[in-house]
Amino acid sequence: MANKVDGFNFEQRHGKARVRVARVWRNRDGRHFIVEWNVSISLLSNCVAAYDRDDNSDIVATDTMKNTVYAKAKECTEQLSVEDFAVLLAKHFTSYYQQVYTAIVKIVEKPWERISVDGQPHEHGFKLGSERHTTEVIVEKSGALKLTSGVEGLALLKTTKSGFEGFIRDKYTALPETRERILATEVTASWRYSYESVSSIPQKPLYFAERYLDVKIVLAGTFFGPPKEGVYSPSVQSTLFQMAKTVLNRFPDISSVQLKMPNLHFLPVNLSSKNNGIVKFEDDVYLPTDEPHGSIEANLSRFWSKL
Ligand SMILES: O=c1[nH]c(=O)c2[nH]c(=O)[nH]c2[nH]1
């Protein structure tokens, strides 16, 4: 909401960034569960007087926001998804404080995974995985909701079934055409759910946690293709599009997908001295790089909601 202040348009928000919290749950059989979350809160509220009249009486202190993260984590006696926790927090801020009209909550979950020892899942032992589950939730006082989930740091690589041909060639072009190369990327994905009010989201416990795992499987499955034969990728662009399309076709409650897929080049190694070849490239020795890298991103959304 823009305000007129001293003859200017004025917009403001305040919040607490990077509040770290971990929550452990124990079940009756002695099995432990843990989540570690990094929570950022931003509140849109009527507190302009703090800016232009030195009057803090409408301010929710950011320290209070931080404490609320711990208090709400304590109140969650059953394990819940990172999305449900973000919605719960955002709902709290918009309903508890008359001044707050919109709450934006972003959370990144650290990938603690149960460890297996001697082939058996450990009751209370975890190791850190790689990619991270993210969410962003926007809740209005009315109960209107925008719910986005995502994954970041999902590193994928295949050693064949990738090429790049037919691109523009001009006096600046040195890249040879190829039908044989390594394709490597680190996917950042985010997808928007079509639930548009806090009262319409699925009540099934861990619904969004399962969805996250399913979306990751679809993304990776489309990138790689079937285990034996794989699938040919004519470009990062084409593979990205197939991945986004498969997510929308598979999950009716997802209305849009954004994918960022840097092209992490593996350069052929050809080395020779003046009078002898040292390494002749035969699709075997590469120089891996991440700088510079291609940057390819796109957003795919439905015209109409499927729900
Ligand atoms: O899949 C690719 N897409 C590009 O746009 C591109 N550009 C480039 O140099 N190599 C590649 N590979």
In ligand 1, the atom with minimum distance to the C-alpha of 238 is: 1
Q: Answer yes or no: is pLDDT of 306 > 70.
A: no
177 and 32 in a common domain: no
**161-170: long-range contacts at Cβ-Cβ below 8 A with a sequence spacing of 24 or more?**
161/225, 161/230, 161/231, 161/232, 161/233, 162/232, 162/233, 163/232, 163/233, 163/234, 164/234, 164/235, 165/234
SS3 assignment, position 292: coil
pLDDT of residue 65: 98
Domain of 283, CATH number, reads 3.10.270.10
187 and 88 in a common domain: no
Integer CA distances (angstroms), 244 to 65, 139, 238, in order: 36, 26, 10
**CA-CA distance, 134 to 171, in Å (whole number)?**
43
* Average pLDDT score over residue span 44-52: 97
How many angstroms does the Cα of residue 163 sit away from the middle of ligand 1? 9
Domain stop point among 94, 110, 143: 143
Domain stop point among 108, 143, 178: 143
Q: Of 1-5, 70-74, 83-87, 226-230, which gets the smallest average pLDDT?
A: 1-5
Q: Of 5-9, 63-67, 163-167, which gets the smallest average pLDDT?
A: 5-9
* Average pLDDT score over residue span 36-48: 98
Which DSSP helix (H) or strand (E) runs through 145?
Answer: strand 145-158
80 and 190 in a common domain: no
Domain count, the chain: 2
Q: Answer yes or no: is pLDDT of 107 > 70.
A: yes
295 and 234 in a common domain: yes
Q: Residues 127-140: pLDDT tens digits?
A: 999 999 999 999 99
* Average pLDDT score over residue span 270-295: 96
178 and 96 in a common domain: no
Is 216 marked active-site? Answer: no
ipTM: 0.99
206 and 96 in a common domain: no
How many angstroms does the Cα of residue 53 sit away from the middle of ligand 1? 55
Substitution candidate for ligand 1 out of 167, 241, 266 with most atoms within 8 A of CB: 167
Confidence of residue 304 (pLDDT cuts 50, 70, 90): confident
* Residue 2 belongs to domain spanning: 1-143
Active-site residue, selected from the candidate residues 62, 159, 160, 246: 62
232 and 138 in a common domain: no
Give the residue with greater pLDDT, 220 vs 2: 220
Q: Residues 69-90: pLDDT tens digits?
A: 999 999 999 999 999 999 999 9
How many angstroms does the Cα of residue 177 sit away from the middle of ligand 1? 10
Domain stop point among 87, 115, 143: 143
pLDDT of residue 270: 97
Is 16 marked active-site? Answer: yes
Q: Using only C-alpha atoms, what is the Rg of the chain? A: 24
